[in-house]
Chain A
Amino acid sequence: MRVLVLAEKKKIAENFVKAFLEKGITAKYLRLSKVMLVSKKDKTEIKLVGSNIDNFDAVFLQARSSLAPFVEPLLEELTNQGFYVNSKKGSYYLSDNEPYTFVSLAINNVKTPKTLTSGSGKNIERVSKNISYPLLVKSFVGKKAQQAIIANNGKELNSFVKSIKSDIEGFMLREYIDEPVISCIVVGDEVFSVKRKTKDQVVVPIDKGEYYKLPDSDKENVLNATKVIGLDIAKVDLVKGRVISIEPNINLKNFNKICSADIESRIVDFYLSKENEIKRKSIFSELKDIRSIFSKTIFGRFFK
């Protein structure tokens, strides 16, 4: 297996490249901005600065979900061309839009808190009758969350909505559950989790978290969530067994320490287990193609 590690910065990719190399797997880092797509007659090509995509058969991708408009066509092409990639088609559009993530999870029976999204703040208090306080309320500009508060009643909700002057895309209300947040790193079917307490409704940073053994039912919910979103490797946050966030980017430093694990190396093993999913045309199958072309010509009988 030859793995192309695509990331926005070298710093993010370094440890992953090292882990692959340590297990004797060819791996090379390339900055995502060095990728160009070209669509031509009958096909689309993936061009790399200083390298050739044909030198690889798997891709490990780490990029912010806001790059979805670039990543999605790239994932389409990588998948079409038979590469194994940790993120599936559609996963970046999903990760880049929080209400859309919750909609997809809910439709597919993943346990999530109740949410309510609306493009306008008008009548928001009346709307909120369908959901119980306290609420986490977020305003969005484009697809980015701009401001967030916890509203304990309709009055607080209304004054937050009224305080927003800028042009916003909409509001999302979510039932706020004041319990510790369980942050998980998912690698295939493996889950590494850290418990983070809240203090005055604020979650402590990950490095202040502690090791947590995830109950089986919660683990099932987490794995179901990653399947729905299309991420083989992901970071998932849970509260009281409910998924509250999921993203393709992972930062392993604290997880490795708190869970006394070497998650990078687990990722490499996971990649090795995906070897059979790679559908790249091998040199051998290309030889067969040449044979079939020749067999249609006068030289055909030499190949039969």
Chain B
Amino acid sequence: MKKQLTKTKTQKEPKIVGPSLVIISSKGAKLSTIKSLISEAQKKFSNVLVVPINKIQIQTSEQGAGLFYKGKNLLCFDVIYPRVSSKDFFLAESVLKIIESSDSYSPVSLKSFHMTNHKFFTSQILSNKGLPGVTSTFFISSKRAQMAVSETGFPFVMKLISGFAGKGVVLINNNDQMESILDAVNLFEEFICTQKFIKGKNFDIRCYVIGNLVLTVKRTSKKGDWRANISRGGSAQLINPTPEMISIAQNAAKELGMDICAVDLMQHKNKWVVIEVNFMPGPFMKYLGNTIVHEWVRYLSVKGKKVQNEETKK
């Protein structure tokens, strides 16, 4: 039996005609993305609320658990879209857990938050399910580094498990480089994983999974950089996905339990492999305008209407 603090307060909320939406935004949220989400959402939802995650009150008592913002009960909304990152871990675990126990629809789950904010965990889950990836290792003592090298060889890529925007992703060519990087890692007590390096590719493919829809973007890195992150000066363009890309992206999203996410692919020995999955992908507005945001909102509104219909049936 699950309990929630929802019922008592429900009556006090004004009755809404269309579905209602809460966007929970990250501490590091980009203002342009949020603005665009609001303006698209206002076309489809009768009530749109953006709540910074650090302003939410998380309450627990013998009656269960609830989420409140300025006196409003967030679990009364039909759709909740948490756009949070590893920076929000402390609050996000509670918030996502409570959303999961409610009747509101969310396109992402707590399990998917844990896995996608952990680059090794993602590789592990996906490769166990037979999805293509590259050899990855994970260890806590830098004494295991040589053991890791025997799996991936040089060069390899070392990543902070929950880095983003290309931060904390470094290429390591030899033992000397490895030793100096490990010194820094030890100093800051960071969790790291390593991955076999995919040579000679200055681009990656980002697959935006939105329900059954897959929109595909090719990201090309800035001259001289091997990383294809937009935030590192890379560029992006929409491309037509191949059936292989679509199937990998959809299966990855399914295994992680996400209706909305972005699956990053690279080409390795003529096959597409998953590099990582993003819980809070940016919509690359500089290159794609509001294409992605529009699709997110459209999908959420369809789900919202379903929740509303369920509610009226009750």
Q: Which residues of A contact B83 (CB under 8 A)?
A: none
With A116-B57, A117-B58, A119-B54 given, is the CB distance from A103 to B151 under 8 Å?
Answer: no
Q: Which residue of B lies closest to A42 (CB)?
A: B130
Q: Which of B114, B137, B144, B151 meets A93, CB within 8 Å?
A: B114
Please determine whether B127 and A115 come into contact, CB atoms closer than 8 angstroms: no
Write the nearest CB–CB distance from A286 to chain B, whole angstroms: 19
State the CA gap A73–B127 with chains docked (Å). 13
Number of A residues with CB within 8 Å of any CB on chain B: 51
- CB of B62 closer than 8 Å to a CB of A: yes
A37–B90 CB distance below 8 A: no
Contact assessment for B137 and A36 in the assembled complex, using a CB-CB cutoff below 8 Å: yes
Chain A proximity mask over B124-161: 1 for CB below 8 Å, otherwise 0: 11011010110111111101100110010000000001
Q: Which residues of A contact B162 (CB under 8 A)?
A: 69
What residues of A have a CB within 8 angstroms of the CB of B287 in the complex?
none
Q: Contact partner of B120 among A33, A37, A114, A120, CB < 8 A?
A: A37
Beta-carbon contact of B64 and A143 below 8 Å: no
Is residue B61 contacting chain A, with contact meaning CB distance below 8 A? yes
Beyond A103-B58, A106-B62, whether A32 also contacts B94 by CB under 8 A is no
Q: Say yes or no: B91 contacts A117, CB within 8 Å.
A: yes
Contact with A along B89-126 (1 / 0, CB 8 A): 11101100110010000000000001000101101110
Interface locus among A51-59, A94-102, A259-267: A94-102
Chain B interface SS verdict (over half): mixed
- Chain A residues whose CB sits within 8 angstroms of the CB of B114 once the complex forms: 72, 93
Nearest A residue to B137 via CB reads: A38
Q: Contact check, A106 vs B65: say whether CB atoms are below 8 A apart.
A: yes
Q: Within 8 Å of chain B (Cβ to Cβ): is A39?
A: yes
Interface band, chain B: 35 or more
Residues of B with C-beta under 8 A to A42: 127-128, 130
Do residues B60 and A112 form an inter-chain contact, with CB atoms below 8 A? yes
Question: Does A164 count as interface, using CB distance less than 8 angstroms?
Answer: no
Chain A neighbourhood of B130, CB < 8 A: 42
Contact B62 A44 (CB under 8 A): no
Q: Does A11 contact B (CB under 8 A)?
A: no
A39-B122 Cα distance, complex, nearest whole Å = 10
Q: How many inter-chain contacts with C-beta < 8 Å in the A-B complex?
A: 158
Closest residue to B152 on the A side, CB-wise?
A38
Please determine whether B94 and A103 come into contact, CB atoms closer than 8 angstroms.
Answer: yes
- Complex contacts, A115 vs chain B, CB 8 Å: 58-61
* Across-interface contacts of B140 in A (CB, < 8 A): 32-33, 67, 70
B56 interfacial contact with A, CB 8 Å = yes
Residues of A within 8 A of B144 (CB): 33-34, 36, 49
Q: Are A140 and B90 within 8 A (Cβ)?
A: yes
The answer to the question of A170 belonging to the interface, with a C-beta cut-off of 8 Å to chain B, is yes
A91–B94 Cα gap in the complex (Å)?
A: 14
Interface residue? B72 (CB, 8 A): no
Nearest A-chain residue to B111, judged by Cβ: A90
Least Cβ–Cβ distance between B111 and chain A, in angstroms: 8
How far, in angstroms, from A114 to B61 measured CA to CA in the complex? 4
- B1 interface hit (Cβ, 8 Å): yes
Contact of B90 among A73, A97, A116 (CB under 8 A): A97
- How distant is B65 from chain A, measured CB to nearest CB, in Å? 5
| Bound-state Cα–Cα, A73 to B139, Å | 11
A170–chain B nearest beta-carbon distance, Å: 6
Return chain B residues, CB-CB under 8 Å to A67. 140
Residues of A in contact with B (beta carbons under 8 Å apart): 32-44, 47, 49, 67, 69-70, 72-73, 76-77, 80, 93, 97, 99-100, 102-109, 111-112, 114-120, 127, 130, 140, 142-143, 169-170
Q: Which 7 A-B pairs have the closest CB atoms?
A: A119-B54, A33-B141, A106-B60, A100-B93, A169-B90, A117-B58, A36-B139
Q: List 22 A–B pairs whose Cβ atoms lie within 8 Å, in order of A's numbering.
A: A33-B141, A33-B143, A36-B139, A38-B151, A39-B133, A39-B138, A44-B127, A47-B147, A70-B140, A72-B118, A97-B93, A99-B58, A103-B60, A104-B97, A111-B62, A117-B58, A119-B53, A119-B56, A120-B55, A142-B90, A143-B89, A170-B54
Residues of B within 8 A of A (CB): 1-4, 52-62, 64-65, 89-91, 93-94, 97-98, 101, 114, 118, 120-121, 123-125, 127-128, 130, 132-133, 135-141, 143-144, 147-148, 151, 161-162, 191
